[in-house]
């Protein structure tokens, strides 16, 4: 499998995981910042290799073979992110681009040894689940902070947006995985939230709250 093919499989995997439905050529083109015609050419190749189900003008989904291949790419990416943060002390907003390069290393033996070296983690530094060597994923129960009701307490367990800009915002506001949050109130006008962290009150936008995954405690 070429590097480009791997990137397409991973993109389709993330898009179908988010919607639990087939995805369009245009959605893939938008995510990969490329032309729809280029996507169509690649989809034909992936279909011929039995990585995806694809018919012109219809949605795209992964075959069982493609699903497992995509999970292995995601597995490598997230294990490398754990390594970069825990062992090399990168910040969580610095590791995505580096892991994008490392995820294309082919050695299965290396990745399994890396997994064991890290203690077989089940989550990456952003709270996303790491598939095991068989593609199994331990489901994480979570809700968005924007869905939490007033007076409920919760704990930050992940992010929906893992962009460097959003992660830096969280760092600047002392919000990280494991942070305890109490929901105080929601503004009816713009849906902004008043929350409490470490006995300090702060107001966050609906956009911020819609990109933070939490579990109720």
Domain boundaries of the chain, sorted by first residue: 3-62, 143-216
The average pLDDT across 194-198 equals: 96
* pLDDT exceeds cutoff 90 at 108: yes
Instruction: Among 3.20.20.150, 1.10.3720.10, 1.10.150.20, 2.30.30.90, name the CATH number for the domain at 143-216.
Output: 2.30.30.90
Average pLDDT of the chain, as a whole number: 95
Mean pLDDT of the 91-106 span: 96
pLDDT of residue 18: 75
Answer whether residue 127 shows pLDDT above 90.
Answer: yes
Q: Which sign does the torsion angle of CA 59, 2, 81, 39 carry?
A: negative
How high is the pLDDT of residue 217? Answer: 92
Give me the pLDDT at residue 140, please.
Answer: 83
pLDDT confidence of residue 120:
97
Q: What is the pLDDT of residue 182?
A: 97
Q: How large is the average pLDDT for residues 79-100?
A: 97
Predicted structure pTM score: 0.89
Q: How far apart are CA 52 and CA 63, in angstroms?
A: 5
178 phi/psi in degrees, rounded to 5:
95, -10
83-87 long-range contacts (CB < 8 A, ≥24 apart) are 83/114, 83/117, 83/118, 85/125, 86/118, 86/125, 87/118
pLDDT digits (tens, 9 = 90+) for 18-70: 777 889 999 999 999 999 999 999 999 999 999 999 988 788 999 999 999 99
What's the distance, Cα to Cα, between the start and end of the chain in Å?
44
SS3 170: helix
Indicate if the pLDDT at residue 180 is higher than 90.
Answer: yes
Q: Which CATH architecture has domain 3-62?
A: Orthogonal Bundle (1.10)
Residue % of the chain over a pLDDT of 70: 100
Buried residues in 100-127 as b, exposed as e (16+ CB within 10 A): eebbeeeeeeebeebbeeeeebebbbbb
Cβ neighbourhood burial of 92 (10 Å; 0-12, 13-18, 19+): buried
The reply to whether domains 3-62 and 143-216 share a CATH topology is no
- The CA R_g of the chain, rounded to the nearest whole Å, is 19
The predicted structure's pLDDT at residue 201: 96
Residue 163: the pLDDT is: 93
Q: What's the pLDDT at 17? A: 87
Is 68 strand, coil or helix?
helix
Q: Tokens for 93, please give them.
A: 């907003």
């Amino acid at each position: 499998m070429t590097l480009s093919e791997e990137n397409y499989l991973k993109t389709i995997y993330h898009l179908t995981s988010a919607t639990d439905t087939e995805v369009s050529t245009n959605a893939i083109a938008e995510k990969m910042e490329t032309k729809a015609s280029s996507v169509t050419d690649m989809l034909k190749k992936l279909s011929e290799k039995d990585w995806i189900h694809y018919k012109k003008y219809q949605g795209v989904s992964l075959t069982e073979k493609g699903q497992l291949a995509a999970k292995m790419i995601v597995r490598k990416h997230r294990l490398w992110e754990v390594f970069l943060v825990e062992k090399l002390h990168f910040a969580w907003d610095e590791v995505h681009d580096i892991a994008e390069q490392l995820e294309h290393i082919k050695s299965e033996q290396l990745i399994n040894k890396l997994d064991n070296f890290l203690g077989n983690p089940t989550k990456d530094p952003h709270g996303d689940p790491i598939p095991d060597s068989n593609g199994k994923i331990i489901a994480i129960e979570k809700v968005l902070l924007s869905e939490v009701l007033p007076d409920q307490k919760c704990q930050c367990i992940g992010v929906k947006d893992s962009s460097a800009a959003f992660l830096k915002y969280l760092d600047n506001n002392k919000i990280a995985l494991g942070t305890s949050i109490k929901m105080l109130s929601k503004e009816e006008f713009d849906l902004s939230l008043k929350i409490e962290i470490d006995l300090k009150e702060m107001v966050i936008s609906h956009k911020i709250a819609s990109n933070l995954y939490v579990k109720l405690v």
